[in-house]
Amino acid sequence: MLSHSDIIAHDREKVEQASAEPDSYGRADLSARSAEVLRRGFKGIDTDRTRVRDIMTPVIFSVSPETPVHTAIDDLLARKVHRLFVVGKDGVLIGVISALDVLRHLQREQPPASNQLPAAPEAWSRPLGYEPW
């Protein structure tokens, strides 16, 4: 599986080599590798040729559709992943549970927030420097 985290980790660990070529080129120097001449204003660049297999997470973490939500959350945290795949008894992918799905689930369980702030405890209203002893 290839995730945003895999790409970010790869990009963070990638070592950039300084180019031996000057920053400015003549028009004749701006040609693509296929010898195609680039239009004025375009610059040829070397692209990252890393393959998905080199940076992907090589395992898939899955749960069954009958898995309790709290167990799925525990698995997400324990494995330090953002997604779990939901796989049926026949091994077919049914869906994906993401960390965002968990947050949406938790939000639905919360009562609607009121527009009023809770009353501050008396200790919060004391002036700075007040020593109760």
d(CA 50, CA 67): 36
40's tokens:
């004025």
Q: What is the pLDDT of residues 76-118, one digit of tens each?
A: 999 989 999 999 999 999 999 999 998 888 888 777 666 665 6
Q: What is the pLDDT of residues 28-38, one digit of tens each?
A: 544 445 445 66
Tell me the whole-structure pTM to 2 decimals.
0.55
User: CATH class for domain 59-110?
Assistant: alpha beta
Residue 69 gets which letter from DSSP? H
Q: For residues 69 and 121, which has the higher predicted lDDT (pLDDT)?
A: 69
pLDDT given for residue 116 in this prediction: 60
Non-local (6+) Cβ contacts of 50 within 8 A are 10, 14
What residues does CATH 3.10.580.10 cover in the chain?
59-110
Phi, psi angle pair for 121, to nearest 5°: -60, 155
Q: For residues 68 and 59, is the Cβ–Cβ distance under 8 A?
A: no
**Three-state DSSP state, 32:** coil
